[in-house]
Amino acid sequence: MSETHEKNRITLISVAAAFVLTVLKLVVGLLTGSLGLISEAAHSGLDFVASIITFAAIRIAGRPADENHPYGHGRVENLAATVQGLLLIGTAVAIIFESVRRLVFAPHPVEASVWAFVVMTLSIVVDLWRSRLLARAARRFHSSALEADALNFRADMFSSSVVIVGLTFVAVSNSSGGDGLLARADAGAALVVAMVIIAVSGRMMFRAVNVLLDRAPITLQDQMTVAVADVPGVVEAHPVRLRESGDRLFADVVVSVPRTATLAEAHMITEQVEESLRTVESRTETVVHFEPAVTETETAADRIRAVAQALGVRTHHEIVHRVGDAFEASLHVEVPPMLSFGEAYSLSQRLVAELQRDNVDLRTVDTHIETVDPDASQRQDVSDEHPETAKRLKRVVDNAGLKAHCHEVRLYTSSGPELDVALHCDFPPSMPMAEIHRNTEMIEHVVRRAFPNLEQVVVQAEPRVRLLAADG
């Protein structure tokens, strides 16, 4: 059974019960002259109207979000709860007026009929049953309208009990032939009922209006902010902003993430933030905005990359050295191939100026400008056509005096006559990466010295243990 169908079914049950109780209380109240019963009839009558309003509100709130209501129609439930509160308070004021009139100015005879007690006892039983039914549904579906109905019927149980007490005092007064305070207990009971209606309605309206005015639940907001701050990768979490709409809770979150994080890494952090909020409150729908932040763990190379990314410039092979009391840096700057040299140089110098503005101790920055083709270029594998060249390349690497063995050579041609070469060389797996890097650069150097006409040389380092395992 769908959520909307279940809520509609429960609301219709409430409407039917309110109608039956209204009729019973009104008939018996008019027959006995009990203001307490008549006030209860008026109260139940408004319950009937309120239940119809709730039914309509739930049907509207169940509509999906549209162009004019991007957050859905859930707040119709909160508006319905506010209207219910206003109706109940209006009724309570009328009951108070009549109660005071009977208590002070115009006492009215009341017949404490057994039917009055039967009707009020039945009312308590029915209100207990539907209050529990609505309260369970309100908690399950986070429905403000159903919660308002449940609160209303709990108040009805108390007010019905007060009316029974008032009728009991009237019965005692009638049996003893008195016309003092006990004879006016019914009007006093009606006055108490009216005060209860005002208290319950006021609390219900206060909560509904708070939702309409986007008042955030502070405790939940604090819990969510703490949960966000505990997400790995979040440098700082701003206070979570919340707004409710029916059974949905919307959260806006601003988090600071390391400025060196890639877009994919930042996206993963935002997904973890969303999950952390759903852990606190499962009905939360979250929008996360992330801002770059400087972290204490940034290296000098990280700092260069972060500044370059902020300018929209791609770099690699960033190296920083301390020279005396200052720093010097070198890096490769990637530019589109269609740029002129003047444009590329101007871009690199703009980056240099920004780097030195970011770090006043950075004395010089040397840039190597290279082009990056945004599209995959076409080339052909010609390894089988140059077997002798491949063998010579292997010998050059093996005779270079390095801790490397070249086990695969691939040769390619693209647009020109020059060859591209890819060398797969294995190294001891325990060798530090810094030494691996130096060795691959030295391999490239000796290969280019032996084959000066090569266009591109790529050296891929692989762990020697992989080959041993494959042979075994």
Domain at 262, CATH number:
3.30.70.1350
Domain at 145, CATH number:
1.20.1510.10
Q: Count how many domains the chain has.
A: 4
Domain boundary among 212, 231, 255: 212
- Asked if 135 and 236 sit in the same domain, the reply is no
Residue 206: pLDDT band with limits 50, 70, 90: confident
- Asked if 195 and 109 sit in the same domain, the reply is yes
- Asked if 319 and 267 sit in the same domain, the reply is no
Residue 467: pLDDT band with limits 50, 70, 90: very low
- Asked if 205 and 227 sit in the same domain, the reply is no
Domain boundary among 167, 188, 212: 212
> Of 61, 62, 57, which Cα lies nearest the Cα of 84?
57
**CA–CA dist 328, 308 (Å, integer):** 16
CA 429 centroid distance within chain: 44
- Asked if 192 and 244 sit in the same domain, the reply is no
- Asked if 61 and 163 sit in the same domain, the reply is yes
> Of 432, 428, 433, which Cα lies nearest the Cα of 404?
428
- Asked if 105 and 165 sit in the same domain, the reply is yes
Domain boundary among 250, 270, 293: 293
- Asked if 156 and 33 sit in the same domain, the reply is yes
Q: At what angle do helices 300-311 and 341-358 cross, to 10 degrees?
A: 130
- Asked if 159 and 183 sit in the same domain, the reply is yes
205 vs 347: which has the higher pLDDT: 347
pLDDT, tens digit, 9 for 90 and up, residues 345-359: 999 999 999 999 988
- Model pLDDT, residue 292: 87
Domain that holds residue 243: 218-293
- Asked if 27 and 123 sit in the same domain, the reply is yes
Return the H-helix or E-strand segment holding 51.
helix 35-61
Kindly report the pTM of this predicted structure: 0.54
